[in-house]
Structure 1
Amino acid sequence: MLANTFSGLKVVDFTQVMAGPTCTLCLADLGAEVVKVETPAGDLARALSPWIRGEGVPFLALNRNKRSVVLDLKQPEHLQAAQQLIAESDVLVESFRPGVMARFGLDFATVAARNPRLIYCSVSAYGQLGSSSDLPGVDGVLQAVSGLMSVTGSQGGEPCKVQVPVVDLVTGYLATISVLAALADRQRTGLGQHVEASMFASAIALQHTNFATYFADGKVPGPQGNAAPYSTPNEALRCSDGWIMVAAYHPARWEALCTAIGAPELTNDPRFHDNKSRLEHREALLGALEWHMRAHPREYWLDQFAAGDIICGPINDYAEVVQSAAFVEAGLAESLQHPVAGALTMPRSMIGAVGERPHARRAAPTLGQHTREVLAEIGLPSDSIEAVVASILQRN
């Protein structure tokens, strides 16, 4: 089972908010034992809205299957505990600005001298090298500087960002791929290495085909609403009571669409002869399609299009999504019990084999919930453990 793939793999997690925690979440869902090292103030995601009994939902969503240890790396005994934890780990993931880990003596070169098998993954805004590497960044800012916001929204409208932290999430997934590749390489060489995931580079990766098109024709793209820039009809079409997303640019499906809406003559219109012609006359095309489609509600058209094997779907809100057959039958949500927040419903891991998807082994931890447990596992004497815990409690 994929849920046990990395059983026994030890990961130490120095990340916070969303990009880095997405990477360690993927590893945890695959069975790795992830120890999340937090400052006494905790991961910043704990303070993000909304909250359930004081527990931040964004934190709860991205930190299942992990244990939390609180360490203040500015205190020598805490730093020594972190060094011991790293020495016994297979993977370290960190999301500080470049140079911060080095100031604590926890940079790759230093810790790899003690643990040469360590895979060390750095997640940052602009990468580990270059003049921009010191700049801070968050999802919205990276959507802006990467060009993503320049191609979202409607023509003539204000700049618009994607309303999910898409750059954070794809950065976390790319970081996971890098870690997995490094683990595979370690099987061959016996050695770890320093890998990275940059939010800026990840945002460019999201726009791979768009930038390829820009390099090809030199034309700076702009926002096109919900329309695909490379094909049509491949956009939302208005019905009498809502919208349907339709992708019918393939020649056979274009003909099927015209038949389904009762306008087979559109296939003979020279303006709509092929994809290139339709792109040149997109406004006229959409006007012709919607003139027919606004005569009936979306359920009528969904049935008609399904009969014609036309790729389409309703534009659902979240309440409709979680009630849909696709969501329910795939079992994409599960219930968890959190020690403070209580009963939770959360999206499940999306990593799995056919007919199998990992269940969460534990809910996201409370701050420092496992400090004593983890420090005992790495061999710290009980008096040293209590001194670490006491210093944290005194500070708080």
Structure 2
Amino acid sequence: MSFERPYEGLKVVDLSQGLAGPYCGMLMAQQGADVIKIEPQGGDWARLIGGVYGDHTAYSIVANCGKRAMAMNLKAAPSREITDKLIAEADVFIEGYRPGVAERLGYGYEALSAVNPGLIYISVSGFGQCGPMRDRPAMDPMLQAFSGFVAENTGTDGIPHHTPVSYFDMSTGLYAQQALAGALYARKDGAPGRKIEVSLLEAAASIQAVRLLSGYRTGPRRSSTAPSGTFKTRDGHIQINIVRDREFETFCTLLALDDLWATEKYRTIAGRLEDIDFLNDYVRRVTENWTAEDLSNLLSEAGLQNEVVQTYRDLVRHPQAEAVGVFSWLQQAGANDPWPVPNIPGMPAFEPGSALAQSPTVGEHTRQILEELGYGADEIDGFYADGVVA
């Protein structure tokens, strides 16, 4: 055990698919746990969405780096014996089925805790384990709509928009992992195993807590600073936020906005907010005459908050990201060139070529895991021939 690998020696059986549950398991693997991903013989459905490279997509790489993969038909009779052996020696079990499905398959908490009383059981769902919406499918875009996020993300076109960023899947995985960390710490002092339930619904509410509380009181989002927003330039866009009154004075001086500064009411944030649409439109007519880089340099030298609107490709190659070590370039099976995978904040950077930096292909470690469970070569060959494993 070390600060870098505090979960070394722990075993995790991960039956979850998609992103939320698997991301929790991936974090455990990066901190030293032996995480065994059990997926259908056709693979986790996250291997099929977006650009596909062999057995991988962006989802499967982010969710599974550092795990060992086993492909198995859970409905085949021998699979229960195999999973029981795995669960008997596991510390953690992760599932992401709709409520009730794990129980029907024989992998509910009561059944597994009978096999292993000390097991920490993580159940990840969309809308929670109870209530009128418990059985509804719930990918990230659905929770964006349900949780108020889409309504808050109304563009200048007046239309609410969802975002392609999987905020709620990823945050669900983070919340699950922090709850798991607490349970494992308590278990060190003799606490028994337990079931932890985490849903995308709860994560969506929690990760939006500040805006949710504000919006509950005041209604739809209103800007708290002015001028502020995304402004078009000659060659792109720039984000500008002017907060303090003295910043507005500096802003007006830099851009020769003398008539704005001459208007007394605009010298206070309250006055500027009254006419925010006018101010933003006024500033847009000015920024259109600048390049984004030149304007950003001017504002930055004066200490005003701004950033050029970048693409992901811009970010990956930016000197600041390179200086901080935001990304590691990891080669994965199926792709001709490496992927810029974000390193996990607060943890060691991925080491290209290492086991922790590899996302397994479907069933890559099936035979290895079966051998560790004590199955002989002939028996394992029989499992393959009978379609029990792949």
TM-score between the two structures when normalised by the length of structure 1: 0.89
> Is the Cα contact below 8 Å between 2:98 and 2:125 reproduced in 1?
yes
SS class of match (2:123): strand
Instruction: Classify 1:259/1:117 alpha carbon distance in 2 versus 1 (closer, same or farther; 3 Å).
Output: farther
Q: Tell me which residue corresponds to 2:349.
A: 357
Q: Displacement, 1:165? A: 1.9
Query: 1: CA distance between counterparts of 2:246 and 2:84?
Result: 62
Answering whether residue 57 of structure 2 is matched by residue 62 of structure 1, we say: no
What root-mean-square deviation, in Å, do the aligned CA atoms of Structure 1 and Structure 2 show?
A: 2.4
Structure 2: 5+ residue stretches without partners: none
Query: 1: CA distance between counterparts of 2:4 and 2:336?
Result: 24
Q: Displacement, 1:261? A: 2.0
Query: 2: CA distance between counterparts of 1:97 and 1:311?
Result: 44
Query: 2: CA distance between counterparts of 1:158 and 1:387?
Result: 57
Match of 1:302 among 291, 296, 306: 296
The alignment of Structure 1 onto Structure 2 pairs a total of residues equal to: 386
Query: 2: CA distance between counterparts of 1:188 and 1:253?
Result: 54
Query: 1: CA distance between counterparts of 2:113 and 2:380?
Result: 25
Q: Tell me which residue corresponds to 2:45.
A: 44
> Is the Cα contact below 8 Å between 1:3 and 1:357 reproduced in 2?
no
Instruction: Classify 1:336/1:268 alpha carbon distance in 2 versus 1 (closer, same or farther; 3 Å).
Output: same
Identity score, percent = 28
Answering whether residue 366 of structure 2 is matched by residue 371 of structure 1, we say: yes
Instruction: Classify 1:238/1:5 alpha carbon distance in 2 versus 1 (closer, same or farther; 3 Å).
Output: same
Structure 1: 5+ residue stretches without partners: 223-227
Query: 2: CA distance between counterparts of 1:241 and 1:3?
Result: 44
Q: Displacement, 1:193? A: 1.6
Query: 1: CA distance between counterparts of 2:147 and 2:16?
Result: 23
Query: 1: CA distance between counterparts of 2:286 and 2:50?
Result: 44
SS class of match (1:58): helix
Instruction: Classify 1:278/1:359 alpha carbon distance in 2 versus 1 (closer, same or farther; 3 Å).
Output: farther
Query: 2: CA distance between counterparts of 1:341 and 1:243?
Result: 32
Instruction: Classify 1:186/1:233 alpha carbon distance in 2 versus 1 (closer, same or farther; 3 Å).
Output: farther
Answering whether residue 238 of structure 2 is matched by residue 244 of structure 1, we say: yes
Query: 2: CA distance between counterparts of 1:185 and 1:254?
Result: 52
Query: 2: CA distance between counterparts of 1:380 and 1:103?
Result: 27
List aligned pairs for 1:28-107, cutoff 5 A: 28-53=29-54, 55-107=56-108
AA at the equivalent of 2:323? E
Q: Tell me which residue corresponds to 2:176.
A: 175
Q: Tell me which residue corresponds to 1:273.
A: 267
TM-score between the two structures when normalised by the length of structure 2: 0.90
Deviations 1:141-195 (CA, angstroms, capped at 9, x unpaired): 1211222111214245443111222221121122122212222222234322211
Query: 2: CA distance between counterparts of 1:268 and 1:192?
Result: 68
AA at the equivalent of 1:253? E
AA at the equivalent of 1:43? D
Bigger shift: residues 48-57 or 98-107: 48-57
> Is the Cα contact below 8 Å between 1:11 and 1:32 reproduced in 2?
yes
Instruction: Classify 1:264/1:69 alpha carbon distance in 2 versus 1 (closer, same or farther; 3 Å).
Output: same
Bigger shift: residues 340-349 or 321-330: 340-349
AA at the equivalent of 1:47? L
Q: Displacement, 1:292? A: 3.4
Query: 2: CA distance between counterparts of 1:252 and 1:22?
Result: 44
Instruction: Classify 1:277/1:379 alpha carbon distance in 2 versus 1 (closer, same or farther; 3 Å).
Output: farther
List aligned pairs for 1:1-396, cutoff 5 A: 2-53=3-54, 55-217=56-218, 219=219, 221=220, 229-263=223-257, 266-267=260-261, 269-341=263-335, 343-352=337-346, 356-359=348-351, 361-362=354-355, 363-392=358-387
Query: 2: CA distance between counterparts of 1:32 and 1:109?
Result: 24
